[in-house]
Amino acid sequence: MKILLLYDYPPSPAGLATQGHLLHRGLEEMGVDVHSVNFEAAQEKEWYYRWFEPDIVVGVGYWGHTPHLVLHPQRYGITPVPWLVADGYLANYAEVLEDLPLILVTSNWVKKVYIRDGLSGKNIEVLPVGCDTDSFMPRDKKDTKVAAVRETLGIADDQIMVLTVGGDAASKGGQEVMQALAINDTKAPDWKYVCKVWPQPRTEKQNFEDLQLAAHLGIDKNVVYTTSRVSRNFMPYILAACDIYAAPSRLEGFGMIQVEANACGKPVIGIKAMGMLDTMIHGKTGYLADVATEIRLREMVSGDDSGDGTVQKIVFKSPRIVDYRASVHDIAKYLMELMTDASLRDKMGQEGRKRVVENFDYRVVAKKFVEIVQRKLGID
């Protein structure tokens, strides 16, 4: 089996790049002949098509990347297998994707989204995102590298550290977590809430609004925002440094960092919806707060990535869910349980670690990928 992988290569710290990179590692360790190339590198992709002659081209992205992941390899007579996340409305690529022999998606929820947007689902298989459980693993808080993280964040040894990581915090449910912490504030043990966000122009306004909310709630002295750039080398240590990972995301097709937190032996607070229904077990590996609100749209304006090069208004037959909000009171209840019970945190963390190793380790995912390709495409 010869595989050419298309993704954001060389890999950046972003989720899609890590998704592709870990599949490459897993396949390579299995002895599969695999190469990676940037999904937008047209000339280099053609170079690989000509000398490597891959059996399939696997592209990591979302439906808007169809020209790079699907149409480009098809021009050269090579079978594309996109591995997609959900992002907005499928628009004008439904016919192209429906005709493919195989589409991979990151969760059952993503599969439902693509079916909602017009695909039959007959060619869609769920392949979860892999996790490097050799890097993301439980570590003692006295470990020098872990202790150094807490020191740089100003977290005392006896303080409970609650953590949220994302491009911005609000999309990961950070505002709901702040409201929950404010409810618990006077009753809870001494705590700090750390939001690790990525430095980018689009998040500056959101970060300011989040910090304003913290001040309004009277918890701003307990909230730490860190916006510096980091590599994937740092992430296992900041996750190991926390006591609770809280990210009841507003939109989450898989939840890579929630899975990595579990791999580090940390209990997770998520939301009872979307990809976390696949990755988390409520009451065992973490807590899933109920959905309090569903944000629905009746219409949308398609963008440049719609597939036909035009901008147009699309009116849905029925309103579509585009965002969720988790129950603040559920989050507060689950936070209090975890903040006041170290043995419960340890127990859930251990169960989470066990589940990740068994189901989401990158080697397990690579093996499942090969099984799917053999079953659906007959490629050995």
Q: d(Cα 271, Cα 248) in Å, to the nearest integer? A: 5
pLDDT score of 244 = 98
Question: To which H or E segment does residue 336 belong?
Answer: helix 328-339
For residue 308, is pLDDT > 60?
A: no
Asked whether residue 223 falls in the same domain as residue 354, the answer is yes
Both tokens of residue 284?
Answer: 């065992």
Domain enclosing residue 10, as ranges? 2-130+361-377
Please give the pLDDT value at position 367.
Answer: 98
More confident residue, 91 or 41: 41
pLDDT one-digit tens code per residue, 254-278: 999 999 999 999 999 999 999 999 9
With H, G, I as helix, E, B as strand and everything else as coil, classify residue 74: helix
Which residues make Cβ contacts (< 8 Å) with residue 237, sequence separation at least 6?
139, 145, 146, 148, 149
Spatial contact of 194 and 161, defined as CB atoms under 8 Å apart: yes
Measured between alpha carbons, how far is residue 248 from residues 107, 264, 279, 302 in Å?
17, 18, 13, 28
Identify whether the C-beta of residue 338 lies closer than 8 Å to the C-beta of residue 244.
yes
pLDDT attached to residue 312? 63
Answer whether residue 54 is part of any domain.
yes
Q: Which residue has the higher pLDDT, 198 or 25?
A: 25
Residue 367 CA, distance from chain mean position: 20
3-state helix, strand, coil in the chain (%, to 5): 45, 25, 30
Residue 31 domain flag: yes
Q: What is the pLDDT of residue 172?
A: 97
Q: What is the CATH number of the domain that holds 371?
A: 3.40.50.2000
Q: What average pLDDT score do residues 309-324 get?
A: 75
**Taking 60 as the threshold, does the pLDDT of residue 307 lie above it?**
no
Give the pLDDT mean for 125-140.
98
Does residue 201 share a domain with residue 110?
no
The whole-number pLDDT of residue 344 equals: 98
Rounded Cα gap, residues 260 and 166, in angstroms: 13
72, 99: one domain: yes
In this predicted structure, what is the pLDDT of residue 199? 85
What tokens does 354 get? 């066990």
Report pLDDT for 321.
86
157 lies in the same domain as 116: no
Entry pTM:
0.94
Residue 221 scores a pLDDT above 80 = yes
Task: Assess whether pLDDT exceeds 90 at residue 313.
Answer: no
HEC string of 18-45 equals HHHHHHHHHHHHCCCEEEEEECCCHHHH
Q: Are residues 253 and 335 in the same domain?
A: yes
The pLDDT value given to residue 280? 97
Judge whether 344 and 113 are in contact, CB under 8 Å: no
Q: For 45-59, write each residue's pLDDT tens digit.
A: 999 999 999 999 999
Beta strands (DSSP E) in 167-260 are 191-197, 223-226, 244-246
Compute and round to an integer the Cα radius of gyration of the chain: 21
Share of the chain above pLDDT 70, in %: 96
Domain count, the chain: 2
Mean pLDDT of 119-133: 97
pLDDT tens digits along 189-208: 999 999 999 888 878 889 99
User: pLDDT tens for residues 69-116?
Assistant: 999 999 999 999 999 998 766 767 999 999 999 999 999 999 999 999
Same-domain check for residues 277 and 371: no
Mean confidence (pLDDT) of the chain: 94
The pLDDT value given to residue 302: 61
If asked whether residues 200 and 266 sit together in one domain, one would say: yes
Residues 152 and 107 in one domain: no
